Structure 1
Amino acid sequence: MVIMNQEIRRLYARIETLEKENNILANDNSPKYNIFSRSNDGILIFDCLERIVDVNPSFAESLKMDKQHLIGRSLSDFVPKNWHFKIEKQREILKKKESVRGILPIYNGRTIIEFDFTTSILNEGGLYMCILRDVTSKRLLERKVKKNEELYADLFTEALDGIIFWRGNGEIIDANEAACRIFECTHDELLNKKIKDFVYEKSERYKSIVKEMFVKGSIRDELVFLMPNGQFKSLEFTVKLNSVEGYHMTIFRNVSERHAMEKSLRESEQKFRMIFEGALEGILLWNNQFEIVDINQSGQRMLQMTKKELIGVSLHSILNDCNITEDELKEQIKNIHSAGQSDGNLSFTLKSGRKKFFEFSNKLNIFSNISMTTFKDVTEKLEMEEQLRKSDTLNVIGELAAGIAHEIRNPMTALKGFIQLLEDSVKEDHTMYFNVITTELSRIDSIINEFLILAKPQAVKFVEKDISQIMKETVDLLSAQAVLHNVQFRTYYEKNLPNVFCESNQMKKVFINIIKNAIEVMPKGGYITVSIRKDLDNKVHIFIRDEGTGIPAHKIKKLGEPFYTTKERGTGLGLMVTYKIIEEHKGTIEVESKLGEGTVFHIYLPYVLKAGMK
């Protein structure tokens, strides 16, 4: 059954009315109508040569031309050339029949008017009469009808979505091919069913949809339908009540594949999210503009920054905070674009001031113009490697020191004894030499003692101590020496600091070694800044900064090595002892320095955790 909309029916009715009126006027020859002068239709009289003999006022008016301008001219003058075949055909028919009928377009100099004409023989003198009715509007209507029919065919018959027309009781009265494919039925099978027959579950939701549909007159929703072959389909539908001639229309679209795809995408996303968030390595995702779009939990923990702080931030700004030169940054970006990946090492200073070392790997466009950087914290690994290297060195030095100390201490004891015996007999002129000998022997003894600290474990007792108090005592002890070098102290001690398990004399030795070095590298004076605060990693952070000339980067790594020193008469054993003491206290030392600006020693010591402390 083909459904015709109301506009198409009205157009056909109008066309039939016009044709009836035209037939009545064309066939009515009674005198009382005085057809020629009073007819609403145009009347044209022409001879056998198709020259116009006369026209009535209605025809002249329809062409918007003067009657005298028409008389005497050939009929073909007003008919477009591509329609002249109509005139010739009319001529042939009139030779065989008394009348002919058809459609003739006439051009009035401005526009083409279409006429429905009837031509018949007027008399035996070779004259013909043509009755013409303007059917331009009618022809336009016909074309519009045809266009609407084509549109209807496109929308209904050839639509990709299923379209079903149904009565108020739900009975299907028509369906297009797409609907038949969706419901796995033939057209005839569908006409014997109701839409609700296919609904899988008549649940409360289904009843609510039906109720809302009849209240609002239309609805759009989605339900699961059971096909005759046992197949389940998720169908999205739009209902419009009383859409065509009182019938209801429902448009269906199969969204089962879309749902399956969405489910697959959700599962894939869940898997990716589980891997992404559960990865032990830090993972950064960034777009083509090098803006960070996501970071996993491990990455946030390593960088001590939240996702909110990082998303939208340029990757360049993060790298600028790292210990990486501009040339190295350009080289990394070049490798990313040329090879699609790059990797390397960098250091990053956390908000706490702690420096961390990372290994990283970049991969370009892993999906949807999103690139990925994976990184892992190798600080402990590097520190362990460094400690192992130093431990090996210390073991060798310890064994060497034990032997040297034993061999030197015996003759040193004899030398000290004889010097003391000779002290009273030394002449006044030689007192200066005696004092130099005594001082140098004391210095040798001090070096031997430092060797012995390295050579064998010291019997020390660790107790809870206030590290701020130990530092205050050390600063007070070195204040006089600082004043002699025009050096001043700036101290900042955080309140309510937790205690540290330590041996106070050894910690004083550490602080004395570092602060004395700081005083000595500032011959023109300046400030030494000492700060102690609680760190985020359950450690106390001790910060000692000087304003000396600084240490080159390649030399910082060698600090703490035996016999490495930047001083003329130094042995390097002081810092070596310092590193060993901090190591024994389960702490770490980090050094940062800039030439011309000074050096900072960062000491991290674990503090005593008490109940309720975080």
Structure 2
Amino acid sequence: MVGAMTNEEYQNLLEKITALEKENKRLKDELANKNEDLYIDLFEEAIDGIVFWQENGKVVKANLSAAKIFECSQNELIGKRLFDFVYEKNEKYYQITKELYRTGAIRDELLFLMPNGQKKLLEFTAKINRNGLNIMILRNVTERFKMERKLRESEQKFRKIFDGSFEGIILWNEDFQIVDVNQTGVKMLGLSKKDIVGQSLKTLLSEFNAKKENLKEYMKKLEKDGQITGTLSIKLDETKQKHFEFSTKSNLISGLNLSVFRDITEKLEMEEQLRKSDTLHVIGELAAGIAHEIRNPMTALKGFIQLLQGSIKEDHSMYFHVISTELQRMDSIINEFLILAKPQAVKYVECDLQKIVRETVELLNAQAVLHNVQFKTNYEKDLPLLFCEPNQLKKVFINIIKNAIEVMPNGGIITVSVKKTDDNKLHISVEDQGPGMSEEKIKKLGEPFFTTKERGTGLGLMVSYKIIEEHNGIIEVQSKEGIGTTFHIYLPINKGSEE
């Protein structure tokens, strides 16, 4: 059994406990002093401004950074009402103060007016302490605001230039994904912006039937040189082909590539028309001379052949027939030359186009039967009268339908239709079941001396194009090899001036 503690032992224990309490208090005071020093260091050395303020808004303590922000000394700042520095007490200010006192804390931005008259945009975090001082931490974000504003202005300028450009612009990344496209580009491609942005550039061009070999060549050159220029032909639909001139620069900004393109379809068509016009002019001058020089001996030949007709023996009748036929063919070629050589004196009158087409089909029906060709006609009822020169149009229809018969040596069906379009034009189409033509051949149709027939001169179609052009109309050709060809003729219904 443990004995009772003696006085001496008890006294020693009390001394030890007292010593431990003193040591504990010393350690606590030392820690408190260290925390106080740490707090002061953090408060004074903080990069952000720190302000303690009372409920009435008066500043009771502020660090050096806060004094620098407010362009005054720490002593000058103490005692000032914090919210008196706010430049404009507008709706936003009252919303902020209301939210602060409702929730006890808020983070926002306000424009402050410094004592020296300088304006600064300050970002702040404020906290209400119900049992003590309130605190606000401030940061000067004026420069950031200016930079953001400049960035926004720069972006707005870029957007205005981007969207207002007369040329199409596409931005695409390293994965060929289209990031943005301007309104001009959207209009040129005939799609919505939603259908373009996010799609692969390769897929888009593939859908437009761009030639893969051309794309591969352009991509190799872009990878090698960093930029390329060129031309590209695409099909927006089965009938409409467009030609674009483009320039592309890779890695323009942060992995984005820039492609600028413009529609040169009209330019190329105009150049082609000028080329054909120049060719027509040269041929016209040549034809005028040739026709007159040949017509005189031709007249003599035809006259003597007619005189000899009665004395031709039956054995030589075949030769006589060949000579007569070839003379007629030469006469026909000369007449076509003369049509190209000089303007024809024609008078435009109101005519029933359906009647002209029907008469042409009936005229060529006998030739069609010989080639085992049948006509299928489709004439829309109650068509308006057309202001035209009927004999010239009949010549066009004869040329086109006759060509359709001759390209089907094994027979087939020719479909002829006449109807009115929504844009106030008469549309005549002649569709055959011949071998068809390539795109290269279609482009050459109407050129002097270009023909797909063994004994053709190419003048028939050339004359036809000229006649339709003089009627302010157009000829379009659709063809698929192995399927057939369709000629579309569009003539405006509105009256023109007599020529």
Tell me the TM-score normalized by structure 2.
0.82
**SS across alignment from 1:242:** coil
Are residues 1:201 and 2:88 paired? yes
| Paired position in structure 2 for 1:219 | 106
| Paired position in structure 1 for 2:178 | 292
Deviation at 1:235, TM superposition (A): 1.5
Deviation at 1:594, TM superposition (A): 5.4
Deviation at 1:493, TM superposition (A): 8.2
Deviations 1:153-207 (A, max 9, x none): 6864444332211100111122233322221222222213121221112334423
Deviation at 1:273, TM superposition (A): 2.1
List gaps (5 residues or longer) in structure 1. 1-28, 42-98, 102-115, 119-130, 610-614
Query: 1:485/1:423 Cα in 2 relative to 1: closer, same or farther (>3 Å)?
Result: closer
| Paired position in structure 1 for 2:246 | 360
Q: Indicate which of 464, 469, 475 corresponds to 1:578.
A: 464
Deviation at 1:457, TM superposition (A): 0.8
Q: How many residues align?
A: 490
Mapped partners of 1:287, 1:332: distance in 2: 16
Are residues 1:254 and 2:178 paired? no
Deviation at 1:577, TM superposition (A): 1.2
| Paired position in structure 2 for 1:179 | 66
Q: Indicate which of 95, 115, 118 corresponds to 1:228.
A: 115
Mapped partners of 1:497, 1:373: distance in 2: 48
Q: Indicate which of 225, 238, 241 corresponds to 1:339.
A: 225
Q: Indicate which of 440, 445, 449 corresponds to 2:335.
A: 449
| Paired position in structure 2 for 1:55 | none
Mapped partners of 1:534, 1:230: distance in 2: 77
| Paired position in structure 2 for 1:89 | none
Deviations 1:460-489 (A, max 9, x none): 344677877766665565566555545566
Deviation at 1:394, TM superposition (A): 1.3
Partner amino acid, structure 1, of 2:296: N
List gaps (5 residues or longer) in structure 2. none
Query: 1:473/1:275 Cα in 2 relative to 1: closer, same or farther (>3 Å)?
Result: farther
Deviation at 1:265, TM superposition (A): 1.7
| Paired position in structure 2 for 1:412 | 298
Query: 1:495/1:458 Cα in 2 relative to 1: closer, same or farther (>3 Å)?
Result: same
Q: Indicate which of 510, 519, 523 corresponds to 2:409.
A: 523
Larger-Rg structure: 1
Deviation at 1:286, TM superposition (A): 1.7
Partner amino acid, structure 1, of 2:216: K
Are residues 1:190 and 2:64 paired? no
Mapped partners of 1:151, 1:318: distance in 2: 64
Query: 1:424/1:543 Cα in 2 relative to 1: closer, same or farther (>3 Å)?
Result: closer
Counting aligned pairs with the same residue, the percent is 61
| Paired position in structure 1 for 2:213 | 327
Mapped partners of 1:486, 1:424: distance in 2: 35
Deviations 1:117-152 (A, max 9, x none): 96xxxxxxxxxxxx89998xx98x899979976885
Query: 1:544/1:176 Cα in 2 relative to 1: closer, same or farther (>3 Å)?
Result: farther
Please tell me whether the aligned partners of residues 208 and 236 of structure 2 are also in contact (alpha carbons under 8 angstroms): no
| Paired position in structure 2 for 1:382 | 268
Mapped partners of 1:425, 1:570: distance in 2: 33
Q: For 1:91-102, what aligned pairs fall within 5 Å after superposition?
A: none
**SS across alignment from 2:120:** strand
Deviations 1:273-294 (A, max 9, x none): 2222222222222222212222
Query: 1:498/1:608 Cα in 2 relative to 1: closer, same or farther (>3 Å)?
Result: farther
Query: 1:485/1:445 Cα in 2 relative to 1: closer, same or farther (>3 Å)?
Result: same
Mapped partners of 1:401, 1:238: distance in 2: 92
Please tell me whether the aligned partners of residues 323 and 346 of structure 1 are also in contact (alpha carbons under 8 angstroms): no
Partner amino acid, structure 2, of 1:280: F
Mapped partners of 1:351, 1:430: distance in 2: 58
| Paired position in structure 2 for 1:282 | 168
Question: Which structure is richer in relative contact order (CA contacts within 8 A, separation 6 or more)?
Answer: 2
Deviation at 1:314, TM superposition (A): 1.7
| Paired position in structure 1 for 2:51 | 164
Please tell me whether the aligned partners of residues 210 and 235 of structure 2 are also in contact (alpha carbons under 8 angstroms): no
Are residues 1:513 and 2:390 paired? no
Mapped partners of 1:483, 1:148: distance in 2: 115
Please tell me whether the aligned partners of residues 499 and 608 of structure 1 are also in contact (alpha carbons under 8 angstroms): no
Mapped partners of 2:200, 2:43: distance in 1: 53
Deviation at 1:353, TM superposition (A): 2.3
Q: For 1:61-76, what aligned pairs fall within 5 Å after superposition?
A: none
Partner amino acid, structure 2, of 1:193: K
Tell me the TM-score normalized by structure 1.
0.68
Q: Indicate which of 113, 116, 124 corresponds to 1:237.
A: 124
Query: 1:235/1:495 Cα in 2 relative to 1: closer, same or farther (>3 Å)?
Result: farther
Query: 1:143/1:260 Cα in 2 relative to 1: closer, same or farther (>3 Å)?
Result: same
Please tell me whether the aligned partners of residues 304 and 351 of structure 1 are also in contact (alpha carbons under 8 angstroms): no
Partner amino acid, structure 1, of 2:132: G
Please tell me whether the aligned partners of residues 322 and 346 of structure 1 are also in contact (alpha carbons under 8 angstroms): no
Deviation at 1:341, TM superposition (A): 0.9
**SS across alignment from 1:441:** helix
Please tell me whether the aligned partners of residues 498 and 608 of structure 1 are also in contact (alpha carbons under 8 angstroms): no
Mapped partners of 1:285, 1:535: distance in 2: 39
**SS across alignment from 1:301:** helix
The CA RMSD measured in Å over matched residues stands at 4.1
Mapped partners of 1:483, 1:155: distance in 2: 108
Mapped partners of 2:170, 2:420: distance in 1: 29
Mapped partners of 1:499, 1:155: distance in 2: 96
Query: 1:435/1:328 Cα in 2 relative to 1: closer, same or farther (>3 Å)?
Result: same
Query: 1:181/1:548 Cα in 2 relative to 1: closer, same or farther (>3 Å)?
Result: farther
| Paired position in structure 1 for 2:255 | 369
Q: Indicate which of 565, 573, 576 corresponds to 2:451.
A: 565
